[in-house]
Amino acid sequence: TLQRKDYYKLYDVWSPGLQYGGQLNISEIGYFALDDGLQIAPKYRRSTAITRRMDMKMARIRCLIVITNKNLSGTLEHYLTTRYDTHLDSMHRFNFALLSHVRDLYNFSFVLSKTSTWGYLKNGKFDGMIGALVRKEADIGGSPIFFRIERAKVIDYTTRTWVARPCFIFRHPRSTKNDRIVLLQPFSNIIWILLGLYGIFTICFLYLLTILERNF
């Protein structure tokens, strides 16, 4: 507030952060006088502090993303937004697309970097993305991660953006509709030859037994 004669001018002062390159925003929102009381400009009465501060003036947010593809070519942003090889790092690309909408909504920019692991506790310290967040080397994690108790103690989770669940994949057997020797497939050729010889031997042996029974 600033006193002007018999009344006070009111200002809304905020900054998205000097460390992010943000600009100081100062807006006059109304005044206070003994006769009139508190008077707020109409546009500020109809809005909230959140909606008024959605424009972050292109503040630079450090975003760290997990990339498992070792054959990365080109810039990181191009890799995350390209439509080629979408089977690689699918959930990280999907999560970055969501963050891009948030970036456009609040008018900030990303300073992108990558790591090869989500972050696991080793010798009392986290590596990967979690470790960078703990050491203040990144402001936001750009990849979805599983909820773990040890991680929840050092970072703040937002909301679920990717559904991960275990599944089983069974190989479909090849078609045998046109195969005329499907019954012969379970055994190799040598097995069938031995079975044939054994059958011939059995027939001959039984024939000899029949002759011997007739004679004796």
Query: Cβ(1)–Cβ(8) under 8 Å?
Result: yes
Q: Are 148 and 132 in a shared domain?
A: yes
- Asked whether 8 and 33 are in contact (CB, 8 A), the reply is yes
CATH assignment of the domain containing 82: 3.40.190.10
Give domain status of residue 7, yes or no: yes
Range of the domain at 20: 2-52
Strand 59-66 vs strand 108-115: parallel, antiparallel, or unpaired? parallel
pLDDT digits (tens, 9 = 90+) for 115-131: 999 999 999 999 999 99
Within a domain: 176: no
* pLDDT in the model for residue 180: 57
Task: Give DSSP secondary structure letters for 150-170.
Answer: HHHTTS---------------
Q: Helical H runs in 24-175?
A: 42-45, 49-52, 76-81, 90-106, 128-134, 149-152
- 155-210 pLDDT, tens digit per residue, is 999 888 888 778 888 777 666 555 555 555 667 788 888 989 999 999 999 989 88
pTM of the model: 0.65
**86 shares a domain with 11:** no
- In percent, the amount of the chain with pLDDT more than 90 equals 42
Number of domains forming the structure of the chain: 3
Nearest alpha-carbon partner for 103 in 57, 145, 157, 49 = 57
